[in-house]
Structure 1
Amino acid sequence: MPALRHEFFLVAAGLQGIEHLSCRAVRPKATSGWNSAGSEYRPFTSRPVGALCDTCHQRRKRNPAPCAQCGTLRTLVGRTEDGGSICGSCSGADIDFAFACRRCGYPGDIYADGFCTRCIAKDRVHELLSDEDGTVHPQLQPLTEQLGAAQSPTAVIAWTRRSDSAQMLARLAAQHQEITHEILDALPQNWQTIYVRELLVAVDVLPKRQENLARLRLWVNDVLSDLPPHHARVIRPFAEWGVLREARRRADKGRYTAGAASNDRTDIRTAIKFMTWLDDNSITLAGLSQEVLDVWLTSHPAQVRGLSTLIR
């Protein structure tokens, strides 16, 4: 299809042998290549405006604008003497480049079956988030509207087809229940979950919350679940009353940043490592002395700050 499209524009517009104002990306030695069907093709498109590289060709096709001569919203493929951009008809080409979407009439940017990328993107999003009878849950309606009106519909189409986060959203929609922060908290806290949460918050499907604090709390719960009981008896109250309480206080004032959350995780990790070191050396907390503490600090100089929170 790319080969046929390029040769179609080159031949039908009758532009061979004409001197063009060429795109800078197109070089005189732009040699031909071979597509998957074994047909020769040119890696650029010729239009009345000149020889265009694929990037410039796609940009003009996807961004129709009013013609400087007739004022009609068209794909602008020509250029006037004073530098204005004009449509194919006004440029005197033998072919009308103003292909329009069969559904919305948008000129140019045809993606498939005569439909533009905007219409295809809306269809793909609706298909992704709808149930068996084609109905989108009312909670997700703002998301479908925002994605359908995105400035880059081709990116939305690719996202619905290939993104793991899109598939996660589809699974959540298929559960036929309201999506909440608590439901997302129960999922693995990987980048897909984080992206889906931020997307739903951005379109007001979910309320905004102090995410740095919330992620710290989820992380603490995961870490504590893997600790041996005698360590958990020490680390749990330290995490709850020594770390999370201070984090909540700072979050209430709007001062709890991602860097602060990272420091708090370091303090808890250091406390766990210190408890493990005491076990390895057969030392109990009751038997902890300044001499023992000095040995730890000497052998772990980079973790002095992290341990100071536990000692306090």
Structure 2
Amino acid sequence: MKLNIDCASCGAEDELHSGGRCWTCALADTVDRLLTNPSSGSIPSELAPLAAALKSMKRANSGLTWIRQKHVTEFLQRLAHTPAVTHQALDQLPSSRTREYVRGLLVEHGVIPRRDELRARYNHWAEEAIERVTDPGNRETVRRYIRWHHQRRMNQMAEVSQGTFQRSKQTVTVAIDFLNWLTDRGAGLAELEQTHLDAWQAEGPTTREIADRFLKWAIKSNAAPPGLKMAPHRRGTSPRLSASAQEAAVQQVVHTDQLPARDRAAAILVVVFGQQIEDVAALSWDDVTVTEELVTIRLGSIEIALPDPLDGPWRRLASDPGHGLTAAHPNSKWVFRGVSPGRHINPSHLRERLRTVFSARAARLGTLHELTKLAPVPLIAETLGYSPATIERHATDSAAAYAQYVAAARRQRWS
């Protein structure tokens, strides 16, 4: 049974923590102690917004539990000793989840400017990846490949997407493996022959096909002989959810409460509207309108109204978007808030959350496959935010499947 008594420090009637003080005052004292620079005897002015945010957490007991963990305590004390709080200064501190979480808090509360974290993470990863190349000459080739192909493309983006980040890492990783494979066989990129490429693909998994992306760049850059070819990485072979499985998924998502409202809302966009999980994760409340009469979501260039009962999970999510008890999301615009301060949910994490109902990729492909049977390609592309070429591929596959069905039906009829 909880006993409410006036706090000896602030006078509030609240559950006490220790020494006659409430949890909020205990949290405030801990924050002040950890963020105080011993040299000056005070909290650095640039850390004052962070201190205020941590003290104002709605659930003070959870905040105190988090901040008293040894790794968090040590990091905040180290931060208080930092001469100037910048991204560069944080990068010099030991890499950890705590560092990145606190970095996010510093950004959200105006201490340091926002930066593209995926671009920064990729740059750091690339520096370490280059060291895995065994041949010095190949190491320089990979460095140029990263700089002039991947980083250059990223620098042209307003913000690097999770998909671009993952694909760039995978492509470079396979390129490094390929070059090290050549080195082990005493071959150099300049002396590359078709037999090398054939052997590389024959001896390993299908992911080796991804080296085709590097090969094209190497030939174009005169780093490899012209005329060589590698079987390209195959696309369009992923499984898709059948129409009956889609119907079952919709029934579970829309008509049951087996999933939280947030997951149900995300699942509707995937299995009903064929949206990519990366786009769902990055949806903001600027794209969603919730009124008493209607819920609309902007997909592509058109706002789509969600009829009853599709609007139910969205109304519940709008009333309680979650992650409101910590200092991580003071003014978040994201529909699907993430654990990291100020950032939306990681697409991979959202994909895993939906896996209990369906594979997000299979569900999306199945939906697009079925939609192309019902409406013209340009209309689907504009409505759902896809390129016409992408929808055209699904329409072609759908038509082929339908033709096979008709042929089978005719054979059965005449047999």
The normalised TM-score by structure 1 is 0.64
295-304 or 206-215, larger mean C-alpha shift: 295-304
**Higher normalized helix content (fraction of residues):** 2
SS of 2:11's equivalent in the other structure is: coil
Q: Aligned partners of 1:187 and 1:221: how far apart in 2?
A: 17
Residues 1:134 and 2:44 aligned together: no
Identity, % of aligned positions: 28
Q: Aligned partners of 1:239 and 1:117: how far apart in 2?
A: 50
- Opposite residue 150 of structure 1, the aligned amino acid is M
SS of 1:184's equivalent in the other structure is: helix
Counterpart position of 2:199: 295
Q: Aligned partners of 1:187 and 1:302: how far apart in 2?
A: 39
SS of 1:165's equivalent in the other structure is: helix
Counterpart position of 1:219: 125
- Opposite residue 21 of structure 2, the aligned amino acid is F
Counterpart position of 2:113: 207
Counterpart position of 2:178: 274
SS of 2:17's equivalent in the other structure is: strand
1:70-81 → structure 2 map (5 Å cutoff) = none
Counterpart position of 1:26: none
Q: CA deviation at 1:196?
A: 2.2
Residues 224 and 236, structure 1, Cα contact 8 Å, conserved in 2: yes
C-alpha offsets along residues 249-268 of structure 1, whole Å, 9 cap, x if unaligned?
2x32x3x2123211111111
Over 3 Å counting, the alpha-carbon distance change for 1:185 and 1:121 in structure 2 is same
Q: CA deviation at 1:186?
A: 2.6
Counterpart position of 1:285: 189
Counterpart position of 2:142: 235
Residues 1:156 and 2:63 aligned together: yes
Q: Aligned partners of 2:128 and 2:111: how far apart in 1?
A: 27
Residues 57 and 63, structure 2, Cα contact 8 Å, conserved in 1: yes
Over 3 Å counting, the alpha-carbon distance change for 1:216 and 1:148 in structure 2 is same
- Opposite residue 164 of structure 2, the aligned amino acid is A
C-alpha offsets along residues 85-135 of structure 1, whole Å, 9 cap, x if unaligned?
xxxxxxxxxxxx541101211112111111101111000000000022530
Q: CA deviation at 1:163?
A: 4.4
- Opposite residue 134 of structure 1, the aligned amino acid is G
SS of 1:108's equivalent in the other structure is: strand
Q: Aligned partners of 1:152 and 1:265: how far apart in 2?
A: 39
Residues 111 and 120, structure 1, Cα contact 8 Å, conserved in 2: yes
Runs (5+) with no aligned partner, structure 1: 1-44, 46-60, 62-96
SS of 2:5's equivalent in the other structure is: coil
Residues 165 and 196, structure 1, Cα contact 8 Å, conserved in 2: no
Over 3 Å counting, the alpha-carbon distance change for 1:305 and 1:165 in structure 2 is farther
Q: Aligned partners of 1:203 and 1:302: how far apart in 2?
A: 46
CA RMSD of aligned residues (A): 1.8
Counterpart position of 1:198: 104
Q: Aligned partners of 1:278 and 1:307: how far apart in 2?
A: 12
Q: Aligned partners of 2:153 and 2:172: how far apart in 1?
A: 13
Counterpart position of 1:107: 13
Over 3 Å counting, the alpha-carbon distance change for 1:166 and 1:208 in structure 2 is farther
Runs (5+) with no aligned partner, structure 2: 217-415
Bigger RCO (CA 8 Å, 6+ sep): 2
Q: Aligned partners of 2:206 and 2:97: how far apart in 1?
A: 29
The normalised TM-score by structure 2 is 0.49
